Amino acid sequence: MFTVEKVGSDRLDIEMSGKLDSEEMRAALDELLDKSAEIEHGKMLFDIVEYHLPSMGAIGVELSRFPSMMRFIRKFDRAVVLSDTNWVKKVSEAEGFLIPGLTIKSFNRDQRDQAEAWLEGFGTDS
């Protein structure tokens, strides 16, 4: 499952659970691109309920859209990852170091209030 909700003019909330196949990945990427069309200096909240690696077909779809996904990611300045899986949180924060202009911070799923405060610029550390 992959859902995208636009929250205000500059934020996307994304919920992920389970394994994505190629069709689900195609639909997910389309939805991300569509809902982010007017966003500049945006924020994202990823709620990773239960993570499974996507299928090989889904990875292929994602790789085939690399240029459009790079344009997508440049629309955002901050992202939060909510997960109860330590390696998912560590990999997510490491991605932030690889993407210029994007800061990613991770929190446990039960720390959503703290995560949202940080995302909106009210957290104690940046």
125 in a structural domain? no
34 in a structural domain? yes
**Number of domains the chain is built from:** 1
Position 124 scores a pLDDT of 54
Report the CATH number at residue 11.
3.30.750
Its domain, for residue 109, covers 2-119
Q: What is the pLDDT along the chain (126 residues), one digit of tens a residue?
A: 889 999 999 999 999 988 888 999 999 999 999 999 999 999 999 999 987 777 888 889 888 998 999 899 999 999 999 999 998 899 999 988 888 899 999 999 999 999 999 999 876 555
Burial (CB count within 10 angstroms: exposed 0-12, middle 13-18, buried 19+), residue 16: buried
The three-state secondary structure class of 78 is strand
Residue found under tokens 């200096």: 41
